[in-house]
């Protein structure tokens, strides 16, 4: 029977493989969103969270998606198989890479697809706001989506398709993920610019 990959084990693996602060933040953001959906809908929160945390764990080391031997996400999939990870975790990570041709079949698969690019975009939005993630609204997110130069690497089609995959309104989906990230604002460094330090001694 496949073993569980604990959150502690997953974090140790991510910390070993990923040195980039921005990529770690992205993985943590996707984890936060996945946990929130799992808790809301009665799924296994640790399984969903670890799937989100590790979905891009090999991207820094192996960013070449065309490398059929060791490209992303093939390397993290191979690592998880070597650890007897749950097959549903492996399938979801494979399905999030559309070029692998693995169909998104389960709620886990579809939710990972629905939050991956959106989390990247929301973090980008929060990082340029004085208040960070606090007060970010679907309306302002949609305005940023219409600016091609902003967070240009984020696939807009994938962001918009996420809500459709889950069968919910786009604004509802965005608001839910914003709330999930806001709940983890400390871990994600999304509080915005810090207030100036009062050096007057008052």
What local confidence, expressed as pLDDT, does residue 72 receive? 84
Note the CATH architecture for domain 7-188. Orthogonal Bundle (1.10)
For 201, half-sphere exposure in the C-beta direction (CA atoms, 13 angstrom radius) is 0
Cis status, amide bond into 73, omega within 30 of 0:
yes
% of the chain beyond a pLDDT of 90: 83
* Tens-digit pLDDT profile for residues 39-75: 999 999 999 999 999 999 999 987 665 555 667 898 9
Q: What is the pLDDT of residues 103-121, one digit of tens each?
A: 999 999 999 999 999 999 9
Beta carbons within 10 angstroms of residue 161's beta carbon: 16
What confidence score (pLDDT) does residue 62 get? Answer: 79
Q: With a cut of 50, say whether residue 168 has pLDDT above it.
A: yes
- pTM here is 0.91
Name the residue among 31, 23, 25, 24 with its Cα closest to residue 5: 31
Instruction: Using alpha carbons, list the distances in angstroms from residue 55 to 23, 52, 73, 111, 191.
Output: 11, 5, 7, 12, 25
pLDDT at position 66 = 59
d(CA 145, CA 150): 8
Tell me the average pLDDT across 164-175. Answer: 96
Mean pLDDT on 181-185:
97
Q: Is the pLDDT score of 87 beyond 50?
A: yes
Question: In this model, does residue 142 exceed pLDDT 90?
Answer: yes
Q: Residue 140: pLDDT above 80?
A: yes
Domain ranges of the chain: 7-188
């Amino acid at each position: 029977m496949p073993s569980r990959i604990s959150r502690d084990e997953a974090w140790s693996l991510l910390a070993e493989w990923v040195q980039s602060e921005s990529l770690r933040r992205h993985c943590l953001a996707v984890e936060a969103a996945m946990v929130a959906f799992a808790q809301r809908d009665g799924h296994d929160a640790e399984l969903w969270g670890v799937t989100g945390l590790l979905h891009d764990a090999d991207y820094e080391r192996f960013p070449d998606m065309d490398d059929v031997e060791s490209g992303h996400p093939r390397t993290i999939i191979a690592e998880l198989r070597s650890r007897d990870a749950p097959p549903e975790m492996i399938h979801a990570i494979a399905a999030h890479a559309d070029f692998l041709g693995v169909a998104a079949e389960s709620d886990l698969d579809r939710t990972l697809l629905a939050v991956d690019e959106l989390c990247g975009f929301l973090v980008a939005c929060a990082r340029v706001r004085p208040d960070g993630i606090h007060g970010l609204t679907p309306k302002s997110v949609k305005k940023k989506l219409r600016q091609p130069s902003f967070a240009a690497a984020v696939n807009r089609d994938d962001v918009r398709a996420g809500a459709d995959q889950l069968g919910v309104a786009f604004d509802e989906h965005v608001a839910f993920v914003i709330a999930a990230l806001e709940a983890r604002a400390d871990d994600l460094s999304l509080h915005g610019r810090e207030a100036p330090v009062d050096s007057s001694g008052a």
